[in-house]
Amino acid sequence: MASVLDGTAIAQELQVQLKARTAQLKESFVDLAPTLAIVQVGDREDSAVYIRNKIKTGEAVGLVVRHVHLPHSTTEEDVIDAVQTLNNDPGVHGIIVQLPLDSEQPIDEATVLNTISPSKDTDGVHSFNAGELAKKGSGNPGLVPATPLGCLHLIDRTGVQIAGKHAVVVGRSNIVGRPMAQLLLRRDATVSVAHSQTADLPALVRSADILVVAIGKANFIQGDWIKPGAIVIDCGINAVPDATKKTGRRLVGDVDFAAAKDVASFITPVPGGVGPLTVAFVVANTLKCAEAVTHSGPWTLRKLKLNLLRPVPSDIEIASAQRPKLVSQLANEIGLLPGEVDAYGKYKAKVNLSVLDRLKHRKDGKYVVVTGITPTPLGEGKSTTTVGLAQALGAHVGVNTFACLRQPSQGPTFGIKGGAAGGGYSQVIPMEEFNLHLTGDIHAITAANNLLAAAIDARMFHEGTQSDKALFGRLIADNKFTVAQIKRLEKLGITKREPSELDDDEIRRFARLDIDKSTLTWCRVMDTNDRFLRKITIGQAATEKGFARETQFDITVASELMAILALTTDLHDMKERMEKIVFASDSQGNPVTANDLCIAGALAVLMKDTIQPTLMQTMEGTPVFVHAGPFANIAHGNSSVVSDKIALKLVGEQGFVVTEAGFGADIGMEKFFDIKCRASGLIPSAVVLVCTVRALKMHGGGPTVTPGSPLAKEYKHENLELVSKGVCNLERHIQNATKFGIPVVVALNHFRTDSAAELALVRDRARAAGAIDAVIAHHWSDGGAGARALAEAVQRASLLPSAFNLLYDIKLPIETKIEIICKEIYRADAVELSPLAVKKIELYKSQGFNDLPICMAKTHLSFSSDPQLKGAPTGFVIPIRDIRASVGAGFLFPLVGEMSTMPGLPTRPCFFDIDLDATSGAIVGLS
Amino acid sequence: MASVLDGTAIAQELQVQLKARTAQLKESFVDLAPTLAIVQVGDREDSAVYIRNKIKTGEAVGLVVRHVHLPHSTTEEDVIDAVQTLNNDPGVHGIIVQLPLDSEQPIDEATVLNTISPSKDTDGVHSFNAGELAKKGSGNPGLVPATPLGCLHLIDRTGVQIAGKHAVVVGRSNIVGRPMAQLLLRRDATVSVAHSQTADLPALVRSADILVVAIGKANFIQGDWIKPGAIVIDCGINAVPDATKKTGRRLVGDVDFAAAKDVASFITPVPGGVGPLTVAFVVANTLKCAEAVTHSGPWTLRKLKLNLLRPVPSDIEIASAQRPKLVSQLANEIGLLPGEVDAYGKYKAKVNLSVLDRLKHRKDGKYVVVTGITPTPLGEGKSTTTVGLAQALGAHVGVNTFACLRQPSQGPTFGIKGGAAGGGYSQVIPMEEFNLHLTGDIHAITAANNLLAAAIDARMFHEGTQSDKALFGRLIADNKFTVAQIKRLEKLGITKREPSELDDDEIRRFARLDIDKSTLTWCRVMDTNDRFLRKITIGQAATEKGFARETQFDITVASELMAILALTTDLHDMKERMEKIVFASDSQGNPVTANDLCIAGALAVLMKDTIQPTLMQTMEGTPVFVHAGPFANIAHGNSSVVSDKIALKLVGEQGFVVTEAGFGADIGMEKFFDIKCRASGLIPSAVVLVCTVRALKMHGGGPTVTPGSPLAKEYKHENLELVSKGVCNLERHIQNATKFGIPVVVALNHFRTDSAAELALVRDRARAAGAIDAVIAHHWSDGGAGARALAEAVQRASLLPSAFNLLYDIKLPIETKIEIICKEIYRADAVELSPLAVKKIELYKSQGFNDLPICMAKTHLSFSSDPQLKGAPTGFVIPIRDIRASVGAGFLFPLVGEMSTMPGLPTRPCFFDIDLDATSGAIVGLS
């Protein structure tokens, strides 16, 4: 007499475990709702019963179960569409397409099932999953259909060892028979598969130690076919007439239970055998999918091997020799879902902000900012250190690490400076894609900036050539105000909302922006070094009827829109900032905004995709975000808040995000803290301060360096005196960083000509000045391996308690905030405001813009306003010539001297050497 | 006594068949070399033997077999890299990774095998292929490992029916046992899989009607285990010692052949049994892969169902309601390989020109150009017809069909006109991506155009402020001339190649471009409607030292670079055209070129990716190329040659490419033939001439139409008189098209207000004028179904013999070519050349530019130069004000009157209504 395997009870036990697992998952990841979606086509009653069971058990365990019910008229495209929608929905973890598809339209079932994303394939019916199961492998076979998993669980409950037994599976469906055979084979049973065409089924069944039946014929397997002592698992559910039942029928299995139970050792009943287990494993599979998604442990990153050559070749040669991973692969490795990633070519992709929502439950990683001493023409290697440190952490220390970089302007790439992807064996690849159009963000900013500029001049022109009434009539369409126009009415204090109700004065006030030409601050932009556009006269054609005026082009990265992109947090915020852009005052001194021009929506449309950071990779295959690149003088010079935020979630609590601040620490780092961190609310864990012995020698009074000329001997031989004199610059930056309460690690980028004594001197002085450590780094020549010590020091520093504080209170008067920065950071004796600056401070206060942070526009070549004053000067005054406002971006920028916002081309620009190999498509000469 | 299955002989037979198939494939597809790549890691002798056999047989059959041999030190990344390179190589059809991977490094075999592209997986080892085999299915199981295929073939050769038999497979490897069991199960055998852990193997083997053994143990299966009459297939190859052999060993199978052959009915020997079959099926699988790639029959396109609403909603509503297919899926459906496609987001992709090389053996499809009558403000619907016709052909008639469209400028999208993706139920989707940045081509053109402009002014500035020597010194780097500089030396007739050898005069001539400012033709561009840039003064800043000059901005699509993109054929040609760009004359009247500025390489780098057409789709899921959009007045107004060429290959001989020509047929079609087809060498099959009853009424003298005002009653009610008068415009265009020897089909776009009599009148007159047919079309309201009759007429027309001829010989004098166009196409009485035009003709002749085609810059609103002259005017003169040259693009453009190349913004531009829903990211208000 067989033991009856009580599926209901066993499933109950499983359900308790699953409920605990679900609860644990939800506890670890607040707001995570493990979700199963079931797609049903048509109205078959049996399908409805199965789905009800899945919903009931799923919900009991704590899952969300969505029932996507499509009508009987559904086409194949409709089902595929529904499945793809679920594939792309990060809120859905498992997908079941309930079979059969009950439609009057022809639908190819196999096509539909292969549409399901393999990672959400709860039923294990995608060919990839079926193949993973069908292939040899001791490990985890991925997602396997629930019924065979349930059967295997029941067999395991008997305690009988499977290996070596003869298992006979009767039936060969895709969701029971076939995968059952595979599971048993993986457990080392000898497996036979029988079916309707099997010649002598009774004989085969008689040889089965383990019998699994799923053939769909009531009581088909006879008791005397069963081998005595066999385990019998019956997957059949067949309704047979039974007058004793209220429904007139009862359910039986494929095995004649009554007869079989006398022969078998273990047997499952129907109902209450396999059925409840199937449902339990549907839930288990869904949970497995959800757990896989939320998994935030170390990435399994395929690292790229470096082939270190000596002497170190040119940047483009090194970069071109390395084949990047496909970006789809990288995205997968770092836990991004396919729906969150839009590839742009093979090696870069935009990442959707929805990932922030999906991972909102996850703790942020450590946040490290790379900054430098006061820059010299020798180059200290800040970007290279950012990339090298990320390679060291990610590919050598082995912690999840993202580098976040700014997108460079194409102007310098073709002009003087060249690209900005790092250097040597610490670069972002493909380097040419990094340095050229990337994913088009700068072009989109150019388009948006110039649409606003064109609209301003066109509006002034139309106001100047039309009567109030004509203007008003043209501005209103369909006799209705637009949303933006209603905002303008609110601003003007007009409460009427019907165009016809406005009186003449209101019409005039509404229709005329009445721009004071002399206050216009909005310039056209171009991502080209075009010096001839620094000052121009526009509107000289006859068609513009004498409305000519002087203006200028800036380089695109100097646009306020770029600063907005770098500081914004989502599309809502971006659009709001665009509405707030002030481009002039009216003749009454009121600010005129982009919203007044009804253009903010169009600007947001043009820049819609720019808000998504671009994913790339380092030379060693670790991930990089490239996003936004605002000017570091008239703007804040830091990459985007959005990319840092996404990266901090993706790396997880134990991971690192390495981001870079432009210019020296007096400017870039100060703005990073006081503008960027203030806006984002993120708290940094460590500052990496980059310096070189050579640059410190220059700060110590070393001879002038002219690009192209040979380097003076002082820089090539030991000179402890110069180092000792110049290290004051480093010391002051260390002290400044410490003021913000963040531990500092000095990265001392090594040159062949540095002597041991020079390096030791810098190390000692840096530590004495308050740095946690000062580490010699070789990542330019050696890649991440050369920055391993630096990475470990950064790791140690990031574990120290931080006491982050901002430098000033935002509510202080504008002039006070300026003074705090100048005295505390630059160490000026005083600030000298020009009359214009004083007037502007009053204007901005009156316009309500006092409570904005300060973005100093000062030379980066000295703590002072004089680029010649190296080292750590004192006893100077900071003169403020003018103050301007980027209201949309959210800061005021005092101008210390003249700031060029449009570079020029030299006699022999970089483009002389840039060429395309038309045969291979390769780019040469890019640096 | 068993029959011995002679594998060698059977394989020979197969080889003959395979050789014939290979020959046939090569004959159908000239230059196609079916190629197998075998990746080997390390130096195992057994692997070497297997690989040699595959190479030998492969080559005997006519395959190319590439042996990719990696060293013993190979890492997992290296192998993956090698496999991905082969995946992306269109010249490789099948890939085998020879197992085991013999490396000193840890390599996960499963990961490597799953890297192989499933469509090139000759060994059938990718999980997707394993899963396709493991799932039920009567059809083709995709790619299956060769050994089990060979075994099955041998079993089939016995003539014994497999269904119902008991098949025992001994062994469970991924490439023999497991797939063997699946194949037998698919043939309805009862299948048992045995292995090392099987408890009573002899007993199981004794029950086998068919026995397949692949267990790797010499003579393991005993003769008395065999069921009498069984078929025995022995996959084992084991070396055993044999002193009688020269090598000291011989090969035996897993079955004791001598004993077994007395019991079995059929048996395979070792060697000479399964082995040769394995090799034959490796070849067969490779050939299958190659045949799949070259398959040029009808596409299996997943069509998108239209949900036709009444009244027809707005374009953006219709477009947004339709979910496009993923572009990767579309690319796959039309036979593009993954390596040929670079996705830009989910719904658009750039297609690599390498596809032209891969398909060079394939015959072109039919080439249909859509053009129109002389445009009216009523809109005739040319783009909509292009899309609707493609939907009709592709989704309803069911022939492979591509639509090729121009990329619209963003200027009009935000200005007056709105987008250009078609309309109603005949649109390209996603419509907003089509109308916005697309894949950045226009932005790249802007960047390249403006780099050249900045370089011209910077160079004039540097020449004006430096001595010859200083200038020369700065232009030369590393004491070497660049390639571009050597070309300049050649142009100047200087034969010296060492900078130090040049004398003072040569230095001056080389270093000074000596640009005559008054001849400058290169303008800066912007993709924005910015009227204030129509005439400007640049260089007014103090830093430009008084070098100010007047110039202008054009809209980007008016750039010569856009015309170059539209006419170029590959990167070589594009770079050459860029080198040839003439932007001014020097003071001696010689043309100054982009090559003289050493900038052509940089321009090519900036526009490198633009040369790839962008793949999108119609509302019904048929493919569309969007590529290039040169102005139709000062340029030729047609989409790119490259996209048409690729599309013609992809659709194949029976397919259709529908492309559009800008403006009316007098301009767009004439330029399509005389400029675009002349450049491409492609021969069109049919002209579709679009008209509407309403537009013809206007040509017949109907009242003026003002946008925004209600339409006059003449256009809303039957008015046969106006139609009858106006149809002369259509007739003349039909006659013009006929002059080129191409059959014409008139598409009569239907409006609700058209009367049956009006439609009949137009139809009759069109046929009488020489049109093959005139068909009423409803694709705007009904999608492709509404243009089915049109599609069928086009199909008929394209089968007619065509006798294509160009209008004029390129060698004729410039003035004669102009005259031919004006008299033959416009029907002018005469041409009147201004003195300036006469002077320019002489200049261009002297500069060697006579032999360029003519690109008339004339109003599109009349056959004449007077936009008011509707219908088919006669008795007029065409005045030529000026002639300009686009030498890089390769045409001269005579200016008939003033052509605005920079549109303006109206008082209430489109952007007032364009907005972003910041929550969903959806765009509203785009039209």
Provide the shortest C-alpha distance from residue B48 to chain A (in Å).
Answer: 25
Q: How far is CA B906 from CA A455, A468, A546, B704, in A?
A: 9, 16, 18, 21
pLDDT given for residue A418 in this prediction = 64
Helix B468-475 to helix B504-511 angle, to the nearest 10 degrees? 70
* Of A396, A403, A334, A320, residue with least CA distance to A783: A396
Q: How far is CA A845 from CA A427, A578, A834, A869, B185, in A?
A: 45, 21, 17, 34, 83
B437/A443 CB distance under 8 A: yes
Helix B274-294 to helix B146-157 angle, to the nearest 10 degrees? 110
Of B181, B909, B916, the CB nearest to A604: B916
Count CB-CB contacts under 10 A for residue B229: 12
Active-site choice (A54, A382, A575, A676): A54
Place of tokens 């497996």: A191
A904/B128 CB distance under 8 A: no
d(C-alpha A42, C-alpha A59), whole Å: 23
Check if B529 contacts A (Cβ < 8 Å). Answer: yes
pLDDT given for residue A138 in this prediction = 59
Hey, CA dihedral for A824, A830, A835, A838, is it positive or negative?
Answer: positive
Check if B160 contacts A (Cβ < 8 Å). Answer: no
B453/A136 CB distance under 8 A: no
Q: How far is CA B674 from CA B425, B841, B865, in A?
A: 33, 20, 20
The ipTM of this complex is: 0.89
d(C-alpha B777, C-alpha B370), whole Å: 14
Q: How far is CA B751 from CA B373, B422, B723, in A?
A: 17, 16, 14
Please identify among residues 649-678 of chain B the ones whose CB lies closer than 8 Å to any CB of chain A.
Answer: none
- E strand intervals along A685-760: 686-691, 744-749
d(C-alpha A542, C-alpha B900), whole Å: 12
Structure-block tokens of residue B303: 């069509």
d(C-alpha A551, C-alpha A566), whole Å: 26
Q: Amino acid identity of B731? A: E
Alpha helices in A29-75 (DSSP H): 45-61
Check if A624 contacts B (Cβ < 8 Å). Answer: no
Contact A231, A160 (CB under 8 A): yes
Give B530's contacts in chain A (Cβ within 8 Å).
450, 453-454, 457-458, 524
* Of A297, A305, A296, A365, residue with least CA distance to A621: A305
- Neighbouring residues of B96: CB distance < 8 A, sequence distance ≥ 6: B36, B37, B38, B39, B54, B122, B123, B282
d(C-alpha A437, C-alpha B184), whole Å: 55
- Closest-CA residue in chain A for B914? A602
pLDDT given for residue A27 in this prediction = 82
pLDDT averaged over chain B?
Answer: 95
Share of chain B above pLDDT 90, in %: 88
A134/B129 CB distance under 8 A: no
- Neighbouring residues of B16: CB distance < 8 A, sequence distance ≥ 6: none
The string of pLDDT tens digits covering residues A592-633 is 999 999 999 999 999 999 999 999 999 999 999 999 999 988
Of B454, B462, B913, the CB nearest to A529: B454
Give A915's contacts in chain B (Cβ within 8 Å).
483, 601-602, 604-605
A131/B136 CB distance under 8 A: no
Contact B609, A437 (CB under 8 A): yes
Give B162's contacts in chain A (Cβ within 8 Å).
none
- Neighbouring residues of B438: CB distance < 8 A, sequence distance ≥ 6: B348, B407, B614, B626
* Of A440, A871, A446, residue with least CA distance to A691: A871
B172/A305 CB distance under 8 A: no
d(C-alpha A107, C-alpha A82), whole Å: 14
Positions of chain B with pLDDT under 50:
none
Q: How far is CA A626 from CA A43, A340, A442, B749, in A?
A: 50, 16, 12, 49
C-alpha A139 chain-centroid distance: 32
Contact B22, B175 (CB under 8 A): no
Provide the shortest C-alpha distance from residue B735 to chain A (in Å).
Answer: 39
pLDDT given for residue A650 in this prediction = 96
Contact B209, B191 (CB under 8 A): no
Structure-block tokens of residue B161: 């029916």
pLDDT given for residue B338 in this prediction = 78
* Of A327, A295, A304, residue with least CA distance to A613: A327
Q: What is the DSSP letter of B121?
A: B
Q: Amino acid identity of B434? A: F
Alpha helices in A142-206 (DSSP H): 146-157, 177-186, 201-206
pLDDT given for residue A90 in this prediction = 78
* Of B578, B481, B604, B483, residue with least CA distance to A923: B604
Positions of chain A with pLDDT under 70:
30, 138-140, 295-296, 418-419, 708
pLDDT given for residue A311 in this prediction = 95
Instruction: Look up A363 and say whether it is catalytic.
Output: no
